A and B are shown apart, each in its own frame.
Chain A
Amino acid sequence: MKKPNQRGPVSSASLGALAARAAEALKQQRFKEAVELFKPMIRQDPRPEWKRSLAEAYHGRARALAAKKMFKEAAMVVENTLGPDGTLADPVFYLHCLIRDGQHQKAAAHVLRYVGTKSTLPAEERAILEDLAAALLVAVPLGPDPARAPSSEQARWLELAAASREALAAWVAGASAQEVERQLNRISLRSAFRPVRVLLKCLITIPQDANRSRQLLEAIPPGSPFFAFREAVAAVLAERALDADGWHRLTPVQQAFVAQTRNLPGTAVQFLAHSAETARSGPSALFGFLFKQPDLPQAEVRSACLNLLPQMPDRLSQFEKHFGPLPDFERHRIQALAAEGRADWAKAERFWRAAVVATSVDDDDDRQAKLSRGVILRHLARLAAEHPEIEGEGDGFLDDPVISYLETSCQADPDYVAGVLELIGHYRADSRLKDWHRLVDEAVQRFPDNSSVLLQAAESAMARKAYKKAAGFAHRLLKIDPINSGVRRQMIELQVAHARKHMRAGRLELAAKELAAAAEWERPDVPSAVLRIAQALVELRAGQDAQAQERLRAGVALAGSGVAGWFRAALEGELMKLTGSSVGLLRQELARERETPPTKEAVMAIVSALGQPDTGENKRAVASLLLGMRAWLLQAAVIEWLPAEFQALAEILAQFDAFDVLAEYARTGRRREPGNPMWRFHEIVARTRANTTRLTMRETEELGRMVDAAVNREDFRSANRIERFLSGGGDVPLRRRRSAAALLDTLDDDDVPELFAAMLEGMPKEATDSVRGLVREFGRDGAVAHMVEQARATPGGPGMPDPVLRELCQVVVAMAMDGRRNRQAPTARRSRL
């Protein structure tokens, strides 16, 4: 910037222009420029507002310098704003700069100016200044100021500071407690120097009354400049010997004070300092330092070094040479941790598995060894969930390593209920129903009083429609956990489902009895809508109209009133196969409510009602009810649906064949969000009526691209959803498919049939005959199609990519018919996997 002319007078016109430039520079935080502009202006015309602006510019400049840690320069800039009495508008900032620059003497002299003067500073700032003044005056002795005589209050402060310094000096010099006490009595307890009195009082009364000392120390708050001193004195006062954790929490300055006061030997201080320093330099430095400490207990040195090995496994041989060989288990454990540190997951898995084997060999009956195996295997399961490089222990490449490791961990440590529950959760998520029920049965035997296990047992029994068993578990669970609302709700729903069956069979009394039993599960504070509605419909059918109407409206209100509430009631009517006037009433009320426009909440309440298991078993009745809702649901297409909400809705619409509604939602969604591929996916689902055989080649390729794009942007949920649709609804986790695909990806195109042929070399003669029979019955292509369908029903089938499965079946047919591998069979393309 060009400096304004500072010599000659400035005309009034140019003064105005300068003022505008200066104000603009200040506004734009160009403080240096603002200072240079304001200075000549004030020289010519010292207007108060320009003086204020100049002070503001100086402060801004000083803060900018302080932000760059240029504290000395910042303090010098602030000094330009000193008032005639030598005080500043923002003294705390000035002190900050002086202290950060190490100018304690100057800071002490400056802070004294605020003592005993009337100040416009806020109370909080005054308190900080007084605390700082006391600490600074104790730390730095001030000589008399020839320029100005102190006020009486300032003189009193200087006296108190001198008394504090003398008391500290007496303690340092080893004066007796009485002598130090005498000095302390000169310090007023009501002054800002009280912390010095407290600190020294505590130090001279050690170890007579440690509790009293601790209470006294609490009078020094964390914001006080004496707080660091307080922490050091507290460490000196520690009743028990100061431990390593307490020591390392102290700063080096505090450590020096504590070491001297507690008379710590020089060797100990040296060891503590060196160990901390080498630890900061890294594990290798610390390892080297510890190795050179022959006077320390070697068992502890060994243990400390052992803990460093996973960070530097290359020192393993040096360690073993010095301390003797490690057991296999330890060696594998160290290598596994080291591999994890390098994110080499395949190697980590190999070493962890070797560690497990080592525990099995060494200590098969040892409880600790079994627990260790359990811990490592659960760890491997966790790693497998996060890193696809972990392959698992299963023989088949489609086995889920998470599940296989959890299974082995449960075998190793069957008493660990959290591990068993985790495995149950995986079985359920993976739709391995047989395993789920089996494991729940075993768990409930082993952990009969565990509420989580009992809840699982009740749910498993419900899924198997073993009502009495479920009720038994639920009763047991409620004895342990009477408020468990989840199991109460599930039992109510289960008994209502039974009542529906009775209603459909015309057994009115039994249905009423079932519902009365269901009511026993209900808590008065958590009334059940579905129970109220079911009871009302049974009463309606029994002709108890007045009571039924009242109960029905209560149930509808609980179900959300409006369309949502009456839809719930109408749905119940359909599930009970009600006819006549009762169902007429429900349809009439629902039709009336449908005149109100749909809301997101109402639509989602309907989705939730349709999600219950009974609706799937009565699809035709529900679909007809949904057909009546078509116009109303179509109005809801314009709502801005979140992806998760819409997914639930889309699944329900597809489940009940409302594909025209789904198509409309997808079209509207695509118009609203053309960049979101999921709307196109729903459009395809609606067009094909969720039947993959109706997919065109173009659509199949489009969906394949969608999966790849979703995987690339790590949207595995969408990728899974599209893959599930492509595989005809099979519920195989994407992770497993990807691991299979990854494995096949390592093979050349020509290797695939080669590999299958090798696998099928040993195919038994009966199998060959059976394939020939299929070819005779359906023809060659028909046999392949038939075998693909069968293979898909096997446990590994859903995880196998379609082209691979087809390829495999073609090779099998070729071998059975031609007695050799069909070289003309189309090869699976890796890109299609």
Chain B
Amino acid sequence: MRDPFTVLGVDETADDAAIRRRYLALVRDFPPDRAPERFREYRAAYEALSDERKRLEMTLLGTNTIALSRLCTAALLAASPGSSRASKQAVAALLAEGIMRTVIDKRPPG
């Protein structure tokens, strides 16, 4: 499992309430009926951080990539939703990827 701070996108210093708020927001966006795998990942991460001692255990006994995630999120903040259009190549690549995924999922060779 990836480190739970990064999965939930919360700081190592976040308290119970902040972690719960973030978890509920994620579950609203990815409920178990629509995104079961993602939900399971969020649930496991939430349980791993739901208690002060568990959080401390995660912080002291492991490593996490939350600081790197924060740097990436900061880079992503520069984006403005819907303000531009993708290129023809990007759309074509996306369609090709979808087609490829379908054939791989539907009919493994051999």
> Are the CB atoms of B87 and A128 closer together than 8 Å?
no
| Contact among B72, B76, B82, B101 for A236, CB-based, below 8 A | B82
Q: Which residues of B contact A368 (CB under 8 A)?
A: 56
Q: Does B18 contact A (CB under 8 A)?
A: no
Sorted from nearest, which 4 A-B pairs have the closest CB atoms?
A67-B110, A206-B82, A66-B109, A303-B67
Q: Mark A248-292, 1 if CB is under 8 A from B, else 0.
A: 100101101101111111011001100100010000001000100
Smallest Cβ distance from A458 to chain B, in angstroms? 26
Closest to A97 in B: B109
Q: Mark B45-72, 1 if CB is under 8 A from A, else 0.
A: 0000000110011001111111111111
What is the number of residues of chain A that contact chain B, defined by CB distance less than 8 Å? 92
Alpha-carbon distance A99/B77, docked complex (angstroms): 37
Smallest Cβ distance from B101 to chain A, in angstroms? 6
19 contacts between A and B (CB under 8 A): A95-B103, A100-B109, A139-B99, A174-B85, A227-B101, A244-B6, A244-B70, A244-B71, A245-B69, A257-B86, A262-B81, A262-B82, A262-B84, A264-B78, A279-B68, A290-B68, A371-B53, A371-B56, A375-B60
Q: Mark A86-127, 1 if CB is under 8 A from B, else 0.
A: 000000110111011000100000000000000000000000
Q: Does B14 contact A (CB under 8 A)?
A: no
Beyond the given A207-B81, A279-B65, please list 15 additional residue pairs across the A-B interface where CB-CB is below 8 A: A63-B110, A67-B109, A132-B103, A172-B85, A206-B81, A223-B106, A227-B98, A228-B97, A245-B9, A254-B94, A271-B72, A272-B76, A279-B68, A300-B71, A379-B57
| Contact among B9, B64, B81 for A243, CB-based, below 8 A | B9
> Are the CB atoms of A229 and B9 closer together than 8 Å?
no
Closest to B100 in A: A99
> Are the CB atoms of A374 and B76 closer together than 8 Å?
no
Q: A92-B106, A96-B109 are in contact. Are A264 and B71 (CB under 8 A)?
A: no
Q: Which residues of B contact A135 (CB under 8 A)?
A: 95, 98-99, 102
Q: Which residues of B contact A413 (CB under 8 A)?
A: 53
> Are the CB atoms of A272 and B72 closer together than 8 Å?
yes
A333-389 at interface with B (beta carbon < 8 Å): 333, 337, 368, 371-372, 374-376, 379
> Are the CB atoms of A372 and B60 closer together than 8 Å?
yes
Alpha-carbon distance A668/B92, docked complex (angstroms): 75
Q: Which residues of B contact A225 (CB under 8 A)?
A: 95, 98-99, 101-102
Q: Which residues of A contact B105 (CB under 8 A)?
A: 223
Alpha-carbon distance A303/B103, docked complex (angstroms): 43
Q: Does A136 contact B (CB under 8 A)?
A: yes
Q: A96-B109, A99-B100 are in contact. Are A275 and B83 (CB under 8 A)?
A: no
Alpha-carbon distance A95/B105, docked complex (angstroms): 13
Q: Does A307 contact B (CB under 8 A)?
A: yes
Q: Does B1 contact A (CB under 8 A)?
A: no
> Are the CB atoms of A263 and B7 closer together than 8 Å?
no
Max chain A C-beta neighbours (<10 A), residue from B73, B77, B86: B86
Q: Which residues of B contact A241 (CB under 8 A)?
A: 73, 76-77, 79
Smallest Cβ distance from B16 to chain A, in angstroms? 14
> Are the CB atoms of A244 and B76 closer together than 8 Å?
yes
Alpha-carbon distance A100/B108, docked complex (angstroms): 11
Alpha-carbon distance A236/B72, docked complex (angstroms): 16
Alpha-carbon distance A223/B105, docked complex (angstroms): 8
| Contact among B71, B92, B98 for A301, CB-based, below 8 A | B71
| Contact among A100, A172, A263 for B88, CB-based, below 8 A | A172
Alpha-carbon distance A136/B100, docked complex (angstroms): 10
Q: Which residues of B contact A296 (CB under 8 A)?
A: 71, 74
Q: Does A304 contact B (CB under 8 A)?
A: yes
Q: Does A654 contact B (CB under 8 A)?
A: no
Smallest Cβ distance from A826 to chain B, in angstroms? 48
Q: Does A763 contact B (CB under 8 A)?
A: no
Closest to A67 in B: B110
| Contact among B66, B84, B110 for A260, CB-based, below 8 A | B84
Alpha-carbon distance A371/B55, docked complex (angstroms): 11
> Are the CB atoms of A307 and B95 closer together than 8 Å?
no
A293-311 at interface with B (beta carbon < 8 Å): 296-297, 300-301, 303-304, 306-308, 310-311
Q: Which residues of B contact A259 (CB under 8 A)?
A: 79
Q: Does A237 contact B (CB under 8 A)?
A: yes
Smallest Cβ distance from B104 to chain A, in angstroms? 8
Q: Which residues of B contact A374 (CB under 8 A)?
A: 53
Alpha-carbon distance A112/B95, docked complex (angstroms): 17
Smallest Cβ distance from A479 to chain B, in angstroms? 25
Q: Which residues of A contact B106 (CB under 8 A)?
A: 92, 96, 128, 223
| Contact among B7, B60, B79, B102 for A132, CB-based, below 8 A | B102
Q: Does A655 contact B (CB under 8 A)?
A: no
Smallest Cβ distance from A226 to chain B, in angstroms? 6
Smallest Cβ distance from A434 to chain B, in angstroms? 28
Smallest Cβ distance from B89 to chain A, in angstroms? 8
Q: A96-B107, A275-B71 are in contact. Are A224 and B102 (CB under 8 A)?
A: yes
> Are the CB atoms of A139 and B88 closer together than 8 Å?
no
* A contact patch SS: helix
Q: Does A203 contact B (CB under 8 A)?
A: yes
Closest to B64 in A: A307
> Are the CB atoms of A275 and B86 closer together than 8 Å?
no
Smallest Cβ distance from A75 to chain B, in angstroms? 11
Alpha-carbon distance A279/B68, docked complex (angstroms): 10
> Are the CB atoms of A261 and B60 closer together than 8 Å?
no
Q: Which residues of B contact A286 (CB under 8 A)?
A: 68
> Are the CB atoms of A307 and B85 closer together than 8 Å?
no
> Are the CB atoms of B76 and A307 closer together than 8 Å?
no
Alpha-carbon distance A556/B92, docked complex (angstroms): 78
Q: Which residues of A contact B64 (CB under 8 A)?
A: 307
> Are the CB atoms of A74 and B9 closer together than 8 Å?
no
Closest to B42 in A: A245
Max chain B C-beta neighbours (<10 A), residue from A238, A244, A275, A333: A244
> Are the CB atoms of B85 and A304 closer together than 8 Å?
no
| Contact among A171, A303, A310 for B85, CB-based, below 8 A | A171
Q: Which residues of B contact A308 (CB under 8 A)?
A: 63
Q: Does A416 contact B (CB under 8 A)?
A: yes
Q: Mark A60-99, 1 if CB is under 8 A from B, else 0.
A: 0001101101010010000000000000000011011101
Smallest Cβ distance from A403 to chain B, in angstroms? 20
| Contact among B79, B91, B109 for A263, CB-based, below 8 A | B79
Q: A206-B82, A264-B78, A304-B65 are in contact. Are A224 and B98 (CB under 8 A)?
A: yes
Q: Which residues of A contact B87 (CB under 8 A)?
A: 172, 260
Q: Does B21 contact A (CB under 8 A)?
A: no
Q: Does A657 contact B (CB under 8 A)?
A: no
Q: Does B17 contact A (CB under 8 A)?
A: no
> Are the CB atoms of B63 and A257 closer together than 8 Å?
no
Q: Does A483 contact B (CB under 8 A)?
A: no
Closest to A98 in B: B103
> Are the CB atoms of B107 and A243 closer together than 8 Å?
no
Max chain B C-beta neighbours (<10 A), residue from A95, A229, A241, A416: A241
Q: Which residues of B contact A128 (CB under 8 A)?
A: 102, 106
Q: A66-B110, A99-B103, A307-B65 are in contact. Are A300 and B9 (CB under 8 A)?
A: no
Q: Which residues of A contact B68 (CB under 8 A)?
A: 244, 275, 279, 286, 290, 304, 307
Max chain B C-beta neighbours (<10 A), residue from A64, A225, A368, A416: A225
Q: Does A168 contact B (CB under 8 A)?
A: yes
Max chain A C-beta neighbours (<10 A), residue from B72, B75, B109: B109
> Are the CB atoms of B95 and A139 closer together than 8 Å?
yes
B8-47 at interface with A (beta carbon < 8 Å): 9, 34
Q: Which residues of B contact A371 (CB under 8 A)?
A: 52-53, 56
> Are the CB atoms of B71 and A169 closer together than 8 Å?
no
Alpha-carbon distance A346/B62, docked complex (angstroms): 19
Closest to B105 in A: A223
Closest to A227 in B: B98
Smallest Cβ distance from A248 to chain B, in angstroms? 8
Alpha-carbon distance A108/B65, docked complex (angstroms): 44
> Are the CB atoms of B81 and A237 closer together than 8 Å?
yes
Alpha-carbon distance A135/B101, docked complex (angstroms): 12
> Are the CB atoms of B61 and A337 closer together than 8 Å?
yes
Alpha-carbon distance A310/B64, docked complex (angstroms): 11
Q: Which residues of B contact A96 (CB under 8 A)?
A: 103-104, 106-107, 109
